[in-house]
Amino acid sequence: MAHAQHHSEVQRSGQAPVPPPPTTPPATPARAGQVVTWNPWIVRGAVLGLALLLVLAFSTRWNRWVGSAGRQWTNDAYLQADVTPIAAQVSGTVTAVPVGDFQRVRAGDTLAEIADADYRARVAQAEGAVAAAKAAIAVLDSQKRTQQTQLDQAQANLKGLEAEAWRTRLERERQGALIDERLAGTPQAYQQAEAAERRAAAALEAGHAQIEQEKARIEGLEAQRRQAEATLAQQEAALTLARINLGYTRITAPADGVLGHRQVRVGQYVAPGTQVVTLVPLPDVWVVANYKETQLTHMRPGQPAAVRVDAFPGTELRGRVVAYAPATGSQFALLPPENATGNFTKIVQRIPVKILLDQPNPLVDRLRPGMSVEATVDTSAPEPTGGAAQ
């Protein structure tokens, strides 16, 4: 009825009819067991928000999570040892190579021999030069003794000349007194006494000069002896060098270990620096594990480590951290990175960590440098007091 009345009022007013407002059907309550459906936009927004929260958490706290882990693991690790290239130190022809490839040797064992005839001749030549220098010194010593004898003789003669000068002076004075007293003196006798005094004085001066000359000769001989001693020291050094070079003709192992491939053969000519063989002092090996910088937060020298060698997966070796490198691996590269120019992309760096294996271990005779390993350091272990230094 209301609708009809409204329609009649619209007709009387002369206006277009207005449709009645839509009616909303009454909400029916969800029945028990009926699935409630969520608005898809709400679901998508919730998933996106959760993803953003996870990304934010990972980007801001990932390094802290990694560094705070109690066991730090890496498979970027390898066994290493002191691999020593052994080279020739003198030139010559190889006359013997008494060892084979991969042979175990002990310190002092002969690895190769070089023809030594030339070096023996040089030793003999140097020995002759040393003997000649010693003989020259002996000659100078003999000359000095002779010269010292002549000096002693000149000093003795000087005493006689001094006595003669004293006697002639007294004779002249006596003859002068006789003339003055007009007793028995004559001018001729006085003149003779005066001439004798002058001759004695001249002889005395000559005696002094002779002594100075003999002293100068002795000083000259002493200077020559010092020069001869320097020559002797030079010749002895040359002899020592010749003997050292002779010893270099026999190449020996500097330590116990295992040899690599031989690089020379009998009859081959080698020069100083020519590599003969490589020596690995087995079983002295250790682990170098390249950990990410974010894994070193709580890592300290002395902490225990577990090592698994890829070649022996069923065996776990024990060890401890002894040190880590003073810089990242990139700093030791031939061309270190320069991040002050151009665009920058942050990359996590790695730092080598040295792990020393406990001895004895079940693989002591089977480990070789270069083997791949997996290393795990227990950073939750208490920090050692007075332990290894970095």
Q: What is the CATH number of the domain that holds 264?
A: 2.40.50.100
Separation in Å, CA 145 to CA 200, 210, 372:
30, 17, 78
Q: Do residues 132 and 102 share a domain?
A: no
Q: Over 70: is that where the pLDDT of 248 sits?
A: yes
Tokens representing residue 114 in the block: 């070089």
Per-residue pLDDT, 63: 53
Do 147 and 243 share a domain, yes or no? yes
Residue 198 clears pLDDT 50, i.e. is over it: yes
Q: What is the pLDDT of residue 187?
A: 77
Closest alpha carbon to 89 in 205, 248, 243: 248
Q: What is the pLDDT of residue 6?
A: 45
Whether 291 maps to a domain, the answer reads: yes
User: So what's the pLDDT on residue 217?
Assistant: 86
In a domain, 223, yes or no: yes
**Is 268 a member of any domain?**
yes
101 and 217 in a single domain? The answer is: no
User: What is the end-to-end Cα distance of the chain in Å, rounded?
Assistant: 100
CB 321 within 8 A of CB 301: yes
In a domain, 157, yes or no: yes
- Indicate the number of domains in the chain: 3
pLDDT above 90: percentage of residues in the chain: 47
Q: Is it the case that residue 283 has pLDDT exceeding 80?
A: yes
Structure tokens at 144: 């000095």
Mean per-residue pLDDT, 76-99: 95
Band (176; pLDDT cuts 50, 70, 90) = confident
Residue 59, pLDDT score: 62
pLDDT at residue 367 greater than cutoff 50 = yes
Which of 1-5, 94-98, 178-182, 377-381 is least confident?
1-5
Residue 242 lies in a domain: yes
Residues 132 and 238 in one domain: yes
Mean per-residue pLDDT, 93-119:
95
Question: Where is mean pLDDT largest: 81-95, 160-174, 332-346?
Answer: 81-95
Check whether residue 238 and residue 276 sit in a common domain: no
Residue 324 in contact with residue 299, Cβ under 8 Å? yes
Sign of CA pseudo-dihedral 257, 258, 262, 265: positive
pLDDT at residue 216 in the model: 87
The CATH number of residue 323's host domain is 2.40.30.170
Give the mean pLDDT of the chain. 83
Query: For residue 182, what pLDDT is reported?
Result: 66
Residue at 17: amino acid letter: P
Model pLDDT for residues 208-241, shown as the tens digit of each residue: 888 888 888 888 888 999 999 999 999 999 999 9
The token pair that represents 333 in the structure block: 């590269």
Asked if residue 36 is part of any domain, the answer here is no
CATH number at residue 158: 1.10.287.620
HEC-encoded secondary structure of the chain = CHHHHHHHHHHHHCCCCCCCCCCCCCCCCCCCCCCCCCCHHHHHHHHHHHHHHHHHHHHHHHHHHHHCCCEEEEEEEEEECCCEEEECCCCEEEEECCCCCCCEECCCCEEEEECCHHHHHHHHHHHHHHHHHHHHHHHHHHHHHHHHHHHHHHHHHHHHHHHHHHHHHHHHHHHHHHHHHCCCCCHHHHHHHHHHHHHHHHHHHHHHHHHHHHHHHHHHHHHHHHHHHHHHHHHHHHHHHHHHHHHHCEEECCCCEEECCCCCCCCCEECCCCEEEEEECCCCCEEEEEEEHHHCCCCCCCCEEEEEECCCCCCEEEEEEEEECCCCHHHHCCCCCCCCCCCCCCCCCEEEEEEEECCCCCCCCCCCCCCEEEEEEECCCCCCCCCCCC
The predicted model gives 16-42 an average pLDDT of 56
Q: Do β-strands 275-280 and 269-270 pair in parallel, antiparallel, or remain unpaired? A: unpaired
Residues 200, 258, single domain; the answer is: no
Whole domain around residue 369: which residue ranges? 67-82+281-378
- The pLDDT value recorded for residue 103 is 95
pLDDT in tens, 313-327: 889 999 999 998 999
Mean pLDDT of 176-184: 70
- Cα 5 to chain centroid distance, Å, stands at 112
Least confident of 28-32, 75-79, 81-85: 28-32
Q: What is the pLDDT of residue 387?
A: 44
Residue 204 and residue 243 in one domain: yes
Indicate whether 178 belongs to any domain.
Answer: yes
| Torsion angles phi and psi, residue 171, rounded to 5 | -65, -40
Q: Is the pLDDT of residue 44 over 80?
A: no
**Residue 68: what pLDDT?**
53
Is 288 found in the same domain as 275?
A: no
Residue 343 lies in a domain: yes
**Arithmetic mean of pLDDT, 149-162:** 81
